[in-house]
Amino acid sequence: MATSRRKQTQASQDSDNKAKSPVDKSGHATAPFAHARLGSFFQARPVLHNQYLQDSLLVSYLRRHLPKENLLTVTHDLERFGGRVAGEIYDLSLQMEAEQPRLEQIDAWGNRVDKLITSSAWSRMKEISAEEGLIACGYERKFGEWSRLYQIAKFYLFEPSGGLYGCPLAMTNGAAKTLELYKSQFPALYERAFTRLTSRDPKLFWTSGQWMTEKQGGSDVAGGTETIAVARPDGSYKLYGYKWFSSATDADVTLTLARIVGQDGTVLEGTKGLTLFYLELRDDNGTMNNIQMLKLKNKLGTKQLPTAELLIDGARAYRLSEEGRGVAAMANMLTLTRIHTAMGAASAMRRIVNLARDYATRRKAFGKMLNRHPLHMHTLAGMEISRLLGRQEVLSMDNTLAAENEVLRLLVPLAKLYVSKQAVAVVSEALESFGGQGYIEDTDLPRILRDTQVNAIWEGTTNILSLDVLRAVHKSAGSVLNHFRNSVMVRIGPAMECQGLHESAYRVENAVKDVLQFATSLPQSSVEMSAREFAYSLARIYMGALLLEHAAHHEATPSDVYTAQRWCEKDLSPLCTHGKNGNFTERSLKGNMDLVFDGYLEKSRL
């Protein structure tokens, strides 16, 4: 019996050890290794097409505003560039996101090196910026007064594919403008720096930083700047300080604020103590100018962009502004960087809408393409309207630079605060259009939201810029509001005579009257409390005027008219709406404080 069982066991083992056929009787594979069966359905990714040709509003805007002798040259270049930003430049931005900057402070032998390591794609982006003349085209004046419009249109196409290289370029644009104004006072410095900041030669091209924020500062530059400047016998200065945020840390030069130390060893506090300086980060051998990189910031987004904390320990610098006039001298730089910020926010909306509408033609839901679902298309239409008005304001902004300074002073913070805030909501909404794919980092879609969030924060938060609007009104003794109203009325004039638009035009007219009347009736204690609603009202009114002006043109499309009508159906005067509800009273202020700090344990800090 035992022998029989052993034979049976051995036979069973021999049977198990025999190679099994890789194919069963039905002809299906039975091998232990095989490709996964993933099914026959695969999601189609959204396709990025030529970004200029896809942008009907940009095309029509330039056709209406550029002189005929300039139009062909500009549009030919933008069409070519629109293909490049959708291809080569966008691919470089993906590489930059994958190869984020890092800081090597100490080498293997213990030497302090402060070596900033960036992606090769980051370096290539600098070369492309020079080749394309992104800075140069605004200063060559090839198209006269239209050169800035050409530059802004080109930046608008570049921004969403530029991998945040638009940030150092924005500051470079501002620095170039500032140095251009000092040409006669500092010809040698102008020749050395301005010509490089505006060069088309990648080997010569420089970028600039803008160092303002310090540990105490944030937007309070006057109260937070501790950097000091010590005069040297040769006319230069040595700077000592700590810069809390320095975006574009690998820039070649920077403009920065500091307080000059007097002969008695003291400095003047406040705005009147600040002077503007020009500083080169490295010497001709690449050695840092007594600047240490202490750490790179770990940010929510904009991770392609190196942002560092810097210790300035005797860096050689040169005074640009008159002593104590640093903030005023920095105004042109801030104006341009805020316009760039608004433009970047508008271009982010354009990009996400381009992707969402392409995806809507490819993705099926409940048996139909997404673009055939009324609810989905209603959402896309709302985003498109927001994107249109944001860009319309940015493009119109540069045409306003030659207009009265008071109006420009008002429009810049309005554009920056409103378009930037709108972009966060639009991009967030757009992610839902992609379903679960909108939440997957590998699609590159979440990055758009993370990078867009910064626009509402840097160069002044929404609340800070709302107060800036109030300062513009106060500084002009209210006259800027009259100029604002006149500008609105001129823009909506043609729409008053158009069937289908006159009702919307009257809504804008009534809104501007109501807002200005209500604003002048507010008690002083309520003015600051209502600053955001006041700024939002001015922004919505002006955007409505821009859209109506565009829709009243003889080349306007039905979409132009519908866009203007849709926008003007909104609440154009949230200041009045909130005010009538009693939201700007002392009682409301106390109620808000009680609500926010209900349950807060450290009441002694209030």
Q: Give pairs for 490-494: CB < 8 Å, separation 24+.
A: 491/545, 491/546, 491/548, 491/549, 492/544, 492/545, 492/548, 492/549, 494/548, 494/549, 494/552, 494/553
Q: CA 227, CA 195: separation in Å to the nearest integer? A: 28
Count of beta carbons in the 10 Å neighbourhood of residue 330: 23
Query: Quick one: average pLDDT of 499-525?
Result: 93
- State the fold for domain 208-324: Butyryl-CoA Dehydrogenase, subunit A; domain 2 (2.40.110)
Return the closest-CA partner of residue 252 out of 209, 203, 200.
209
**φ/ψ of residue 151, rounded to 5:** -65, -45
**φ/ψ of residue 485, rounded to 5:** -60, -40
Q: Helices (H) and strands (E) in the chain — how many of each?
A: 23, 11
**pLDDT reported for residue 375:** 46
Q: CA 532, CA 312: separation in Å to the nearest integer? A: 37
3-state secondary structure of 85: helix
Query: Quick one: average pLDDT of 40-48?
Result: 82
Tokens of 321: 């502004």
- Render pLDDT for 389-417 as a digit per residue (tens, 0 to 9): 555 556 666 554 434 567 778 888 999 99
**pLDDT reported for residue 401:** 43
End-to-end CA distance of the chain: 94
Q: What is the biggest distance separating any 2 CA atoms in the chain, rounded to whole angstroms?
A: 115
**272 has pLDDT over 80:** yes
Cα Rg of the chain, angstroms? 29
Q: How distant is the alpha carbon of residue 205 from its chain centre? A: 23
Residues paired with 209 in a beta bridge: 254
For the entire predicted model, the pTM comes to 0.89
Tokens of 322: 């008159």
Query: Quick one: average pLDDT of 151-166?
Result: 96
Q: How distant is the alpha carbon of residue 88 from its chain centre? A: 21
- Render pLDDT for 160-171 as a digit per residue (tens, 0 to 9): 999 999 999 999
Q: How distant is the alpha carbon of residue 233 from its chain centre? A: 42
- Using left for φ > 0, alpha for ψ between -120 and 50, and beta otherwise, residue 5 falls in alpha
Return the closest-CA partner of residue 154 out of 363, 343, 280, 388.
343
Contact residues for 212 (Cβ-Cβ < 8 A; gap 6+): 221, 225, 256, 257, 330
Query: Quick one: average pLDDT of 265-271?
Result: 92
What is the pairing mode between strands 237-247 and 253-260?
unpaired
Q: How distant is the alpha carbon of residue 478 from its chain centre? A: 30
**385 has pLDDT over 50:** yes
Domain boundaries, the chain: 56-197, 208-324, 330-461, 477-593
CA distances from 225 to 246, 271, 318 (A): 14, 9, 18
Q: What is the DSSP letter of 275?
A: E
∠ CA 552-54-354 to the nearest 5 degrees?
Answer: 105
533 with 417: CB under 8 angstroms? no
Query: Quick one: average pLDDT of 578-591?
Result: 86
Superfamily of domain 330-461: Butyryl-CoA Dehydrogenase, subunit A, domain 3 (1.20.140.10)
**pLDDT reported for residue 408:** 78
Count of beta carbons in the 10 Å neighbourhood of residue 374: 7
350 with 387: CB under 8 angstroms? yes
User: Worst-scoring range by mean pLDDT, 8-12, 130-134, 540-544, 587-591?
Assistant: 8-12
Contact residues for 48 (Cβ-Cβ < 8 A; gap 6+): 86, 90, 354, 355, 358
**pLDDT reported for residue 602:** 81
Count of beta carbons in the 10 Å neighbourhood of residue 587: 9
Return the closest-CA partner of residue 351 out of 474, 457, 459, 449.
449
Task: Please report which confidence band the pLDDT of residue 191 belongs to, taking 50, 70 and 90 as the band edges.
Answer: very high
Count of beta carbons in the 10 Å neighbourhood of residue 122: 24
Return the closest-CA partner of residue 539 out of 456, 418, 425.
418
| Amino acid symbol at 499 | Q
**φ/ψ of residue 71, rounded to 5:** -60, -45
| Amino acid symbol at 309 | E
